[in-house]
Chain A
Amino acid sequence: MLGKINDRKLPVSPPADAGRPAACRTWDSRLCVIMRLLLIEDETSLLDLVQRSLTRAGFTTDAVGTADEARGALSGSRYDAVVLDLGLPDEDGLAILRDLRGGRDTTPVLILTARDGVEDRVTGLNTGADDYLLKPFAMPELIARLKALLRRPSGALGVVLEAGNIRFDTAGREVMVDGRLLALTAREMTLLENLLRRAGRVVPKRHLEERVYGFDDEVTPNSLEVLLHRLRRKLAGGGFSGEIHTIRGVGYMLAETAA
């Protein structure tokens, strides 16, 4: 693993086809994005396991065990996201985060830690972390959160949003279900985009209303529900494998697969 850091300092060579993530083999290769992650974790067995899972999920990962190695890796190349353990043997993981943000680097950082005090969480997020996952964690949770980070407009997965058999090209404003184009209105698309960007997590109703409706729009309390009802019908008609759930009183959640 130590060898890899040195590799990363070399000019990035195009990845070999054999190493291409599963996602890229399934989908149109023109749209295929290879996501590079840096994994910083001092517990070698955990590091190894996480790296294997992430690789299987289609990420390319570099794994390092110390802050020193992490700095080397970060200065040598660009990553789409960083998974950072706070309890490193040589330095506090937060120092790495602080340096990264100090250098105007906006690479999404997910903190992975055993520290779960609210203060630790707040400090982490205030220092510039984008998400916080507590040990022990379920691997699908880590992957879902990483994807959510990458689905941000600026993220590696931010242009083409995928969930289940749905595929949303935000640049071309095209929605495909199982490869078939789905006709949606502009508002329905905005709604779907916002749900897709945070697939698997609850999106507050307020947040959606702000995105979907402008200042001048007449919004009644159930405008959004009516819109969502139409979107659900269209998605179901198109054969969407997942589902949009209503969390009454809070918001909505798009699940990749139907429960």
Chain B
Amino acid sequence: MTAEKQDRRWSLQARLAWRLGFVLLGSMLLVALVISQYAWFALDDLDDVGLQVQASQIAKHTQVRDGALTVELPPSLQQAYHESGDGYMYAVLDPQGQIIAASSEKARRSFSGLSLGSGVPARTVFRLLDADGQESSYYAMLDTAGLPAGYILVAQGRIHPDVFIDTLLSEFAKRIGWTLPLVLAAALFIAIWTIRTSLRPIKELSLRARQIGPQTRNLRLPTEGVAEEILPLPLAINSALDRLEQGFEMQRRFTANAAHELRTPLAVLTARLAELQDGPDIRLLAGDIGRMNRLVAQLLQVSRLEGALLKFETLDLNPAAETVVAFLAPLAIGAGKSVALTASSKPVLVEASADALENALRNLVENAIAHTAPGTEVMVLVSPDGSIAVRDHGPGVPVEQREQIFERFWRGRNRQHPGAGLGLAIVAETMRGHGGRVTVGDAPGGGAEFVLHFPLHSLRQD
């Protein structure tokens, strides 16, 4: 489900890429639009200027001779008019509006229909009408062009604006447009590069954050090299972690202190009881106090396990198991039972906290001694795969309880066993802290088999 969600989530890079592309494309279109708009206005000016130039040229070659206007164009100009194929036209009118000269028959026809009202302004630009009375594509100008009398009419076929703009745009695309993908690529490259470099610390941050746990509360997120915009996040998280650690530490110290403070009065109680005459009641009391002692010891173990940052070192499981077996052998023998060790022939190196490892194993062996039948042996077995098995000859653990027994304060259906229900929880927590686990199954000869699995030293060196 989370994978699906993540698929729908856009990466910052992709988001930036398509937004940048969009903006670049948009700005290109805008530029094209502005250019064509400008061209459109420029076209009118171009028309006007063209007409004026024509008119003044015609006027230059028009003289008044004997009271009448005569037009004598130089051959080159005549040629030009001819070659334009009526693209350009002119006509010279006398003051009465009669056409005196024209560039061609078509010009004569086009201009003949014009009626010059009185008060024609000095210069008028208009559109010629075609035969049907529709507006043609010719722009015309009526101008006196500095003549003492009469008018000059010039016209030119309008440059087709669509064609003009198309040409302009295709030129634009050819000369400038090709830079669009380049600019886009450069922009994307810079954007992605910036994102990558400024987000790299975030990857480190999340790697570090992943390592923070109850046993590694002292770790903090790095703030060096983190972009200013991101910096508030690790700073805030770090200060939150500080507060959490303080609370955690207070809680842990309370448990530790409470358990610690209970020890001396319990020692007094134990000693006082030893003073009394032995008897059934005294033995019951001694049992109760023993249970209390165990509970206090386990509470301390829990507080240490949660609090203390486990100190790992490379150690051999063989001597560790030997220490525990030797320590608990008198207890087993006192109870009419025995305990034995099958060490591995070679050292079994694991990365572990000696204290926590011995506590966990001691809890298992104590349980096994308590549960194994009188006269039987508890076997502790060290294997080269980094595990220590503890087998007893007791009733075993029913399959349906094999999960629950590792929960805190869980104590089976018959509450005859004098445990507080913390021992196995401590074992499970210890193993989690070591990146290992504890499992429970059937021992080969009947009875329970608890196995502590530690990751081997060489496997942890990644």
Is A114's beta carbon under 8 Å from chain B? Answer: yes
Give Cα A134 to B270, complex, Å.
Answer: 13
Q: Kindly name the residue among B263, B304, B342 whose own CB sees the greatest number of chain A CB atoms within 10 A.
A: B263
Using Cβ atoms and an 8 Å threshold, which residues of chain B touch A246? 338
Given contacts A116-B300, A247-B329, A248-B341, contact A136 B334 (CB under 8 A): no
Given contacts A117-B355, A118-B354, A248-B341, contact A259 B333 (CB under 8 A): yes
Q: Which of B293, B330, B340 contacts A201 (CB 8 A)?
A: B330
Using Cβ atoms and an 8 Å threshold, which residues of chain A touch B300? 116
Q: Is the CB of B342 within 8 A of A249?
A: yes
Q: Is the CB of A204 within 8 A of B354?
A: no
Mask: chain B, 309-335; 1 = CB below 8 Å from A; 0 = not:
000000000000010011101100110
Mask: chain B, 260-287; 1 = CB below 8 Å from A; 0 = not:
1001101111111011000000000000
Give Cα A167 to B343, complex, Å.
Answer: 35
Q: How large is the interface on A (under 10, 10 to 19, 20 to 34, 35 or more residues)?
A: 20 to 34
Give Cα A49 to B289, complex, Å.
Answer: 16
Q: Is the CB of B341 within 8 A of A137?
A: no
Using Cβ atoms and an 8 Å threshold, which residues of chain A touch B330? 200-202, 253, 255
Is B418's beta carbon under 8 Å from chain A? Answer: no
Given contacts A118-B355, A249-B343, A251-B326, contact A135 B266 (CB under 8 A): yes
Q: Which of B268, B304, B336 contacts A49 (CB 8 A)?
A: B268
For the complex formed, measure the closest distance between the CB of B251 and the CB atoms of chain A, giving whole angstroms. 18
Mask: chain A, 104-118; 1 = CB below 8 Å from B; 0 = not:
000000000011111
Given contacts A245-B329, A245-B333, A249-B325, contact A117 B271 (CB under 8 A): no
Q: Is the CB of A247 within 8 A of B336?
A: no
Q: Is the CB of B340 within 8 A of A46?
A: no
Is A139's beta carbon under 8 Å from chain B? Answer: yes
Q: Is the CB of B263 within 8 A of A135?
A: yes
Q: Is the CB of A139 within 8 A of B340?
A: no
For the complex formed, measure the closest distance between the CB of B374 and the CB atoms of chain A, giving whole angstroms. 10
Give Cα A37 to B235, complex, Å.
Answer: 58
Given contacts A136-B293, A249-B343, contact A53 B274 (CB under 8 A): yes
Question: Of all chain A residues, which has the CB nearest B342?
Answer: A249
Using Cβ atoms and an 8 Å threshold, which residues of chain B touch A139? 270-271, 274
Using Cβ atoms and an 8 Å threshold, which residues of chain B touch A200? 330
Question: Of all chain B residues, which has the CB nearest A87?
Answer: B264
Q: How many A-B residue pairs have CB under 8 A?
A: 102
Q: Is the interface of A mostly helix, strand, loop or mixed?
A: mixed
Q: Is the CB of B271 within 8 A of A247?
A: no
Q: Is the CB of A259 within 8 A of B336?
A: yes
For the complex formed, measure the closest distance between the CB of B430 and the CB atoms of chain A, giving whole angstroms. 13
Mask: chain A, 156-184; 1 = CB below 8 Å from B; 0 = not:
00000000000000000000000000000
Give Cα A136 to B271, complex, Å.
Answer: 9
Question: Of all chain A residues, which has the CB nearest B325?
Answer: A250
Using Cβ atoms and an 8 Å threshold, which residues of chain A touch B293? 136
Is A45's beta carbon under 8 Å from chain B? Answer: yes
Q: Which of A52, A248, A259 contacts B340 (CB 8 A)?
A: A248
Using Cβ atoms and an 8 Å threshold, which residues of chain B touch A117? 304, 308, 355
Give Cα A204 to B322, complex, Å.
Answer: 9
Give Cα A134 to B336, complex, Å.
Answer: 25
Give Cα A46 to B266, complex, Å.
Answer: 10
Give Cα A114 to B261, complex, Å.
Answer: 8
Give Cα A136 to B294, complex, Å.
Answer: 10
Q: Is the CB of A53 within 8 A of B271?
A: yes
Give Cα A52 to B273, complex, Å.
Answer: 13
Q: Which of A43, A140, A251, A255 contacts B264 (CB 8 A)?
A: A43
24 A–B contacts from the bound complex (CB under 8 Å): A43-B268, A45-B268, A46-B264, A49-B271, A49-B275, A50-B271, A114-B260, A114-B263, A114-B267, A115-B260, A116-B297, A116-B300, A134-B263, A136-B270, A136-B296, A138-B274, A140-B274, A246-B338, A247-B339, A248-B338, A248-B340, A249-B340, A250-B329, A253-B329
B residues sitting closer than 8 Å to A (CB atoms) are 260, 263-264, 266-272, 274-275, 289, 293, 296-297, 300, 304, 308, 322, 325-327, 329-330, 333-334, 336, 338-343, 354-355, 377, 380
